[in-house]
């Protein structure tokens, strides 16, 4: 089940890795997507707005968790590429310990503070209670988020992009059933949708854990490999925390933008929620490409094959360009139909909602190639061991969204909100593309100088050290 990404055609390897990962991303999107569809159809626009109003703070916290787990998996890929199986297992064990600590701290902190965050975000009064109920339950499920995403990241670092998909497929079906049951047959409302999401993700994580213990001999630990290791924990944090902060820094900009849209009223919040869900679904291939590039660059960096890095990034960018054109063409023709996936046909202001949502979706997909580059290049840099650079690119995204949220949306209304993300993606690319070239040169120079591996971390220009 382990797959070697250091030999063979990069395009063929990336396609073989990306396609199964894409199905996994699509299934993962079903958690929030099905919530949104069922909530919008069965409970109405205000309930949809209540879920949508939590989207950015949801991404702030869960994005950090997912990024942290993905970063913890990067040393695993590099150690596999270097042929150091025992050290790889020590990385896995210490990643579990760190994840447990982060999960506990984040769960307690977010559950205590989520009400204050919604107040700070100027959540409309008519949807505040439902927004609180939804996001509180989602935050209670943070340990389940860690369980699945850490296991999935480790398995993908081993080159297996298929196994996590099977369990997400199972949990997605469960999520749909629980959504319908808890909304239709109970009085839980949006809280039922949140509960369905948490239960489903917990199931996927537990089943994935049981499967890994039985079917991955390379992940069977000796007692000595289970001992906490300070050096490895530092290395994991140097990869995981910057990657998690990259998601969170980006989300801060989204929160500022969401706060500005909240001030326009629940109708615009609903349109933003529906349009964002369409965009997230359509952008799943870019997330899959990013995951593929993290594993690909991690393994090839560990194997001291820097000549394969640029070729892989180029080939993946071509895949991203092709898909971007297809996605824009589809939404140019069928954006209103896509919007209706999340809207109730009996909604009194349906025509305006469809118009607003369609405008948002078409504008976002028109700039999909810059988004593709953000994912491909950012994850490639992280796979090479320069995770802190992700924070810089995330900060540039945050600045763009913050400017639109604080300045342009209050002045120009919803028409300004639809340009916030495209401008943020372009700003991130202005930094990421030259930074990636520098990172490849650094990795190449390090390999030629006789180092065992390129540096685990830091920013180009800072002092680095090789793996022991």
Q: CB–CB of 440/310 below 8 Å? A: yes
Instruction: Report CA-CA distances (Å) from 229 to 69, 84, 95, 243.
Output: 18, 16, 10, 21
Model pLDDT, residue 29: 67
**What is the 8-class DSSP label of residue 6?**
S
Sign of the CA dihedral running 415, 417, 422, 424: positive
Tell me the whole-structure pTM to 2 decimals.
Answer: 0.72
Kindly report each contact of residues 172-177 with a partner whose C-beta sits within 8 Å and lies 24 or more positions away, as own/partner.
172/27, 172/30, 172/31, 172/34, 172/200, 174/199, 174/200, 174/203, 175/30, 175/31, 175/34, 175/199, 175/200, 176/30, 176/34
Sign of the CA dihedral running 43, 44, 47, 53: positive
**Per DSSP, which regions of 161-237 are E strands?**
none
Domain ranges of the chain: 10-448
Q: What are the average pLDDT values for consecutive 10-residue runs of the chain, which has 468 residues? A: 72 82 69 67 77 79 88 83 84 93 95 90 85 92 92 81 77 83 83 88 88 82 89 89 78 76 81 83 87 86 88 94 95 90 74 88 94 93 83 83 83 86 92 94 85 41 33
Output the six-digit token pair for 225.
């490999």
Per this entry, what is the length of the chain?
468
List of residues 6+ apart from 114 with CB closer than 8 A: 57, 132, 135, 136, 139
- Give the integer Cα–Cα distance in Å for 8 and 300: 12
| Residue (of 45, 97, 74, 137) closest to 383 by Cα position | 74
Model pLDDT, residue 190: 85
Please work out, in degrees rounded to the nearest 5, the angle formed at the alpha carbon of residue 403 by the alpha carbons of 400 and 408.
120
Backbone angles phi, psi at 51, to 5 degrees: -70, -45
Model pLDDT, residue 110: 93
| Residue (of 129, 210, 168, 196) closest to 21 by Cα position | 168
List of residues 6+ apart from 253 with CB closer than 8 A: 397, 398, 399, 400, 401, 402, 405, 424
């Amino acid at each position: 089940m382990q797959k070697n990404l250091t030999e063979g055609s990069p395009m063929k390897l990336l396609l073989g890795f990306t396609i199964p990962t894409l199905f996994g991303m699509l299934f993962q999107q079903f958690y929030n997507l099905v919530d949104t569809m069922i909530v919008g159809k069965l409970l109405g626009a205000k309930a949809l707005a209540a879920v949508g109003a939590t989207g950015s703070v949801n991404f702030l916290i869960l994005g950090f968790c997912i990024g942290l787990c993905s970063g913890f998996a990067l040393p695993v890929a590099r150690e596999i590429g270097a042929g150091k199986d025992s050290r790889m297992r020590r990385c896995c064990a210490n990643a579990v310990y760190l994840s447990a600590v982060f999960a506990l701290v984040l769960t307690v902190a977010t559950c205590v503070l989520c009400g204050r965050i919604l107040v700070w975000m100027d959540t409309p009064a008519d949807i505040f209670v439902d927004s609180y109920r939804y996001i509180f339950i989602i935050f209670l499920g943070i340990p389940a988020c860690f369980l699945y995403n850490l296991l999935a990241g480790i398995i993908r670092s081993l080159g297996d992009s298929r196994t996590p998909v099977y369990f997400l497929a199972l949990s997605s079906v469960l999520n749909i059933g629980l959504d319908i049951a808890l909304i239709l047959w109970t009085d839980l409302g949006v809280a039922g949708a949140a509960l369905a999401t948490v239960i489903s993700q917990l199931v996927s994580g537990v089943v994935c854990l049981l499967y890994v213990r039985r079917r991955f001999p390379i992940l069977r630990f000796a007692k000595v490999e289970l001992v906490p290791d300070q050096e490895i924990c530092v290395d994991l944090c140097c990869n995981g925390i910057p990657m998690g902060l990259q998601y969170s820094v980006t989300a801060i900009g989204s929160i500022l933008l969401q706060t500005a849209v909240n001030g326009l009223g629940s109708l615009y919040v609903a349109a933003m929620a529906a349009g964002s869900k369409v965009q997230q679904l359509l952008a799943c291939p870019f997330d899959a490409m990013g995951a593929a590039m993290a594993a690909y660059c991690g393994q090839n960096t560990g194997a001291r094959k820097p000549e394969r890095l640029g070729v892989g990034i180029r080939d993946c960018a071509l895949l991203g360009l092709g898909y971007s054109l297809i996605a824009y063409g589809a939404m140019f023709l069928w954006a209103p139909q896509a919007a209706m996936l999340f809207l109730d046909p009996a909604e009194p202001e349906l025509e305006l909602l469809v118009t607003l949502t369609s405008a948002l979706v078409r504008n976002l997909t028109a700039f999909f190639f810059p988004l593709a580059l953000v994912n491909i290049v950012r994850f490639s840099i992280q796979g090479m061991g320069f995770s802190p650079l992700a924070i810089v690119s995330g900060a540039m995204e945050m600045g763009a969204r913050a400017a639109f949220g604080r300045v342009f949306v209050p002045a120009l209304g919803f028409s300004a909100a639809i340009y916030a993300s495209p401008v943020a993606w372009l700003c991130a690319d202005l930094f990421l593309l030259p930074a990636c070239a520098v990172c490849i040169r650094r990795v190449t120079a390090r390999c030629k100088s006789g180092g065992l591996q390129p540096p685990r971390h830091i920013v180009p220009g800072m002092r680095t050290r090789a793996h022991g």
